[in-house]
Amino acid sequence: MLLADMNADAVKPVADELDQAWVQVDVTHAGDIQRMVDTAYQQWGRLDVLFNNAGVAWARPLLEITEDDWDRLMSVNLRAVFFVLQACARRMRTQPPIDGSELRGKLINTASIAAFRGGQNYMAHYNASKAGVVSLTRTAANVLAPDRITSNCVCPGAVDTPMWTRIDADFAEIEGLQLGEAWRRRTSLIPLGRPEKADDVAGVIAFLASRDSDYMTGQAIIVDGGLVVG
């Protein structure tokens, strides 16, 4: 496994704990993407699974989103997702199948239920980026199926992470709320009755990376405790 992150101070301790390789990468730079893929190939000679998980988010009222807001968010959430996927797929299609499988590789992207909930206030740019990830996932599934490469994405809901802490603070400033109030309102709507944790998503990612999902492609799997249907 190769762990990649822009923040070396964050990724190195995780890599050390798991005894895995790591690389510092800014996925908005083509050279860094290629270096990341090359590093994996130099170590293992192939690439079986990509987990394409880079993403950023912040809240802005619709009429106050600037060109800089739009471009910075799209550069990570959609542009980088595409070019990382492209670089990995180019390598995967040239390699023999994974041992014990008919597949040459698996592409897993992180989208969001925001792709299906465009009415979410103050998140128009984020919603659009995640809808783009779902579309890209499905297009890649169709294009790469003859190469025996699958493409799926996972769509989390309100996950208890530093990203949501940032969004909560933005909502507080925009609406004059107390810190934590936007998060409380959001999570109070979850039918399963608790906020989502990273581990709730990790199990689905592990399934998509496993051979149990070999016959799945083009899917956007919602993992949100029931928010979309609630």
Regarding whether 67 and 17 lie in a shared domain, the answer is no
For residues 103-112, average pLDDT: 97
Regarding whether 33 and 1 lie in a shared domain, the answer is yes
The DSSP element (H or E) to which 205 belongs, if any, is: helix 198-209
Side-chain-facing half-sphere of 223: CA atoms under 13 Å: 21
Task: Round to whole Å and give the CA distance between 143 and 197.
Answer: 33
**pLDDT recorded at residue 114:** 92
- 52 part of a folded domain: yes
**pLDDT recorded at residue 119:** 63
- 167 part of a folded domain: no
Regarding whether 8 and 77 lie in a shared domain, the answer is no
Regarding whether 50 and 40 lie in a shared domain, the answer is no
Q: What is the pLDDT of residues 184-226, one digit of tens each?
A: 999 999 999 999 999 999 999 999 999 999 999 999 999 999 9
Q: Is the pLDDT of residue 92 over 90?
A: yes
| Residue 86: band (very low, low, confident or very high) from pLDDT cuts 50, 70, 90 | very high
Task: Round to whole Å and give the CA distance between 6 and 27.
Answer: 8
The sign of the CA dihedral 193, 199, 202, 204 is negative
Q: Is the pLDDT of residue 37 over 70?
A: yes
Tokens 């128009």: give the residue: 124
Give the domain extent around 33.
1-44
Considering its fold, how many domains does the chain have in total? Answer: 2
pTM of the model: 0.93
Q: What is the pLDDT of residues 109-125, one digit of tens each?
A: 999 999 998 667 899 99
- 188 part of a folded domain: no
So which residues are the catalytic ones?
126
Regarding whether 203 and 128 lie in a shared domain, the answer is yes
Regarding whether 150 and 67 lie in a shared domain, the answer is yes
Question: Which of 121, 96, 117, 111 is closest to 52 using CA atoms?
Answer: 111
Tokens 């799945």: give the residue: 216
Q: Is the pLDDT of residue 230 over 60?
A: no
Q: Is the pLDDT of residue 10 over 90?
A: no
Per the prediction, the chain carries an average pLDDT of: 93
Regarding whether 102 and 25 lie in a shared domain, the answer is no
Regarding whether 66 and 145 lie in a shared domain, the answer is yes
For residues 131-136, average pLDDT: 97
**pLDDT recorded at residue 100:** 86
- 182 part of a folded domain: no
CATH code where residue 62 lies: 3.40.50.720
Regarding whether 131 and 215 lie in a shared domain, the answer is yes
Regarding whether 102 and 140 lie in a shared domain, the answer is yes
Regarding whether 111 and 37 lie in a shared domain, the answer is no
> At which of 9, 27, 44 does a domain end?
44
- 170 part of a folded domain: no
For residues 4-17, average pLDDT: 88
- 177 part of a folded domain: no
